[in-house]
Chains A and B, each alone.
Chain A
């Protein structure tokens, strides 16, 4: 645990709140004076303090939700992407976090991720659909470990606070500047100018100060944001390497993210610093490194890969010094002090996801559909149909082979589970069911309780798939005329 970092972040969060109060008060005071030179200052001050109180309340209670909604993130259950859930749980165990963060998926094919939360108990990790479908398990673990490090090191506390505050400063300044260009400020000025010639000069100065503050405040706020972000990315990388004991995973994830080239649509200036890789970064933009909120990806990758078979903080410090060429201490003493040199583990043996564009795009789109509540229905011909949640018809015609497939029960559709009229191998495909099903469906097209039919091929063991995917078996001794599926309750008529 990097205790110095944690304490520093807490102190800085507090300082941010207090400093924000002063900045807003000054802004409010001078803006008020601009509108009303006699008493406006105090009115403006009161308004600014009131605004600060409101902002603090909002950021403490629902700051997370605002940032998540702005980034178009949706919360997901375990069924949508079990691997992501499991990886987050693994990292929660490894980091010793007090509670599982909530998991969100962002509707975007560009790979990226961020974490927010005012405290580790109430945090959230958001990952784009592109990232969840394109990364292999080691890389996903690396990215999730990086985000978990931000949460545990309390970076998210600072960044969430700064995000809300920064957003509000930008808002106030925009409002003020716009009202200055369009508003009746000038007429109000003349209305109150009965203090003589000296008063006019004072007013000019006040106006100048107000304008300068309004223009500079967003710049200062952005500079503050930049100052707090870059070092923390290195520290999160180091912590992630130690948590996973596999820095190459995070390194190759960063490479994949950096080379994807797709812009992240839902990122704006305020939320950009919170992502793992700068969403606005263009390849080869060296000048951007000076003003960027993130250190360049190539550098981060080189440091991680230069850790030479070890995964502890000291190795990261050594690799950092080697890559940067200077020996600035990036890891605080509590990390260096812990002593042991930790070896890396081996890579996982899971197969890499396919890299060709078709599969990648299809997997990403399927994930986005699953997040949005689509159901997947596999036709007997092998086509995987994607049904929108608003679908109302009981049967769907397969566009490839023309068969009518019955839409399964509503609960199955709601969680996006894959159901099949003929599931994969291991289940003996009932050759007799498909024509029977199509017949039954076409005979009674729109009614809800259409009876299914199955024609027995003989007197030996037979089995067929119910429409919901359950396997129904008929023994030689079966004499009944109908069989009811235990899963979905459908009754299938047995014909000899």
Chain B
């Protein structure tokens, strides 16, 4: 928490998502839990939270791409040099497994 630069934020977010994965409970002892309404709601919330994080990261990276293009293309590069705009860094995914869709699996 309290991460400053984009790089720090990226590392913090990776830690958070890893923690979410580690929160998964073993349900092999409770096979009927999978059909429980409350469990399905929990699964939905977890999936959507992971998705929202991923889409926020994607939206940020799109904006960074757009900005980096703009400061290099004419005529906006003139304004950029006037005000010393520098290229922003992307919010990179540290762990390759994060690129996969959220797997809400409750197996060990």
Contacts and interface: CB of A to CB of B under 8 A. Distances in A.
Interface of A: 1, 82-83, 86-87, 89-91, 93-96, 137, 245, 337-340, 345-350, 418, 423-426
Contacts of A86: 44-45, 47-48, 51-52
Contacts of B47: 86, 137, 348, 350
Given A83-B44, A425-B30, A346 B55 contact: no
Contacts of B59: 93-96
B51 A90 contact: yes
B88 interface: no
Contact of A245 (B33, B58, B66): B58
Given A86-B44, A348-B47, A424-B35, A93 B102 contact: no
Contact of B101 (A83, A340, A349): A349
A96 B104 CA distance: 26
Nearest to A245: B58
Contacts of B48: 82-83, 86-87, 89-90
B103 A349 contact: yes
Contacts, number: 76
B52 A426 contact: no
A292 B77 CA distance: 44
Given A94-B58, A337-B69, A348-B102, A424 B63 contact: no
Contacts of B101: 345-349
Contacts of B65: 338-340
Nearest to B32: A425
Task: Choose among B30, B56, B59, B105 the residue with the greatest number of A CB atoms under 10 Å from its CB.
Answer: B59
Closest 9 CB pairs between A and B?
A425-B32, A86-B48, A94-B55, A424-B36, A348-B101, A93-B55, A90-B51, A346-B101, A93-B56
Nearest to A86: B48
Interface in B45-93: 45, 47-48, 51-52, 55-56, 58-59, 62-63, 65-66, 69, 73
Interface of B: 30-33, 35-37, 41, 44-45, 47-48, 51-52, 55-56, 58-59, 62-63, 65-66, 69, 73, 99-105
Nearest to A141: B51
A91 B105 CA distance: 24
Contacts of A89: 48, 52
B17 to A, nearest CB: 15
A90 B51 CA distance: 7
Contact of B36 (A83, A245, A345, A425): A425
15 contacts: A82-B45, A89-B48, A93-B56, A94-B59, A137-B47, A338-B65, A339-B65, A339-B69, A346-B100, A349-B102, A349-B104, A424-B35, A424-B37, A425-B33, A426-B33
Contacts of A339: 65, 69
Nearest to A376: B37
Nearest to A334: B66
A372 B56 CA distance: 33
Given A346-B100, A426-B32, A1 B52 contact: no
Nearest to B49: A86
Given A83-B48, A349-B103, A425-B36, 8 more contacts: A86-B45, A90-B48, A94-B58, A338-B65, A346-B99, A424-B32, A424-B35, A425-B32
Contacts of A94: 55, 58-59
B85 to A, nearest CB: 18
Contacts of A82: 41, 44-45, 48
A350 B50 CA distance: 13
A69 to B, nearest CB: 30
A90 to B, nearest CB: 5
A338 B66 contact: yes
A307 B64 CA distance: 24
Contacts of A425: 30-33, 35-36
A495 B30 CA distance: 31
B104 A93 contact: no
Contacts of B62: 96
Contacts of A426: 30, 32-33, 36
A426 B56 CA distance: 35
Nearest to B72: A339
A199 to B, nearest CB: 63
A90 B58 contact: no
Nearest to B37: A418
Contacts of B52: 86, 89-90, 93
Contacts of B58: 94, 245
A424 B39 CA distance: 10
Contact of A349 (B44, B69, B105): B105
Contacts of A340: 65
Nearest to A427: B36
Nearest to A339: B69
A439 B62 CA distance: 64
A345 B99 contact: yes
Contact of B66 (A1, A87, A137): A1
Nearest to A246: B101
Contacts of B100: 345-346
Nearest to A337: B69
